[in-house]
Chain A
C-alpha cells in the first residue's frame, strides 16, 4: 500500500498549512469510487480554529459527503497539519479516525525544521496506525 499523489497537490497542502499557521489546516483529496486515486484537492475550514485541534464543521461535512456521492467520488485522503509537532498521528487523531478506507495524511510545517517540511501518510484502522510510503508524481 502506498499513497500516490501529485507534486501540485502536495505543494498546495503545504502552502495551506503555512497560510493558516498557527492554526491547523485540514481538507480532503477526492477521487473516483474504488480507484484509490487522490486527484481532486478540497481544502476544508478548520471549524475549531485551533493550533492543537481540527474539525470539519458538521454542516460542511454533510455537504462534502453529498457532493462526493453525487460525483461518484470517494474521500481518498484526509489531511491536516501539525504546526508545532511532527507529522505523526496524535492520540486524538487515532481516537477520531472514522474512515477506514482513507489515507490519513499529516503534514508538518513546524519552524524548527524549516524550510524542510514533512508529508507522511498513514492508515488508521481500529486504533492501529500503519505508516505507508508516499509516491509523489509529476
Chain B
C-alpha cells in the first residue's frame, strides 16, 4: 500500500527537495514512522512528545486529521496526505 505525501517547502531539505514522496502505513502514525525511516529527521519536525506539533497541519485527502483521529487516523490505499505549516503568529 503506497500513500502519496505532499511535503511543504520548509521540510523539503529532508526529502532532497522532492515536493511529494511515497510512504506506507495503515495509520498516520505508521506513515510518519515510515517517512522518518526514509527521510531521517522528518518525524521530529512533525511530532513533539508523541503528538502532532501544534503548528503543523496534516490532511488526509481534504480533511484535517484532527477531525479524523489524529495520529490514529486510518489510511487506506490511494489516500493522499498533505502536510502544511500553519500560517499563524501573534
Contacts and interface: CB of A to CB of B under 8 A. Distances in A.
A90 B9 contact: no
Interface residues of A, number: 28
Interface in A83-110: 89-93, 95-101
Nearest to B59: A62
A100 B89 contact: no
Given A98-B10, A98-B55, A100-B9, A62 B82 contact: yes
Among B8, B57, B84, B90, the most chain A Cβ lie within 10 Å of the Cβ of B90
A20 interface: no
Among B64, B86, B89, the most chain A Cβ lie within 10 Å of the Cβ of B89
Contact of A53 (B59, B84, B85, B89): B89
A3 B66 CA distance: 36
B87 interface: yes
Interface residues of B, number: 17
B88 interface: yes
B57 A53 contact: no
A78 interface: yes
Contacts of B48: none
Interface of A: 26, 28, 44, 48, 52-56, 58-59, 61-62, 65, 78, 80, 89-93, 95-101
9 contacts: A55-B86, A58-B57, A59-B64, A80-B89, A95-B55, A96-B87, A98-B55, A98-B85, A101-B9
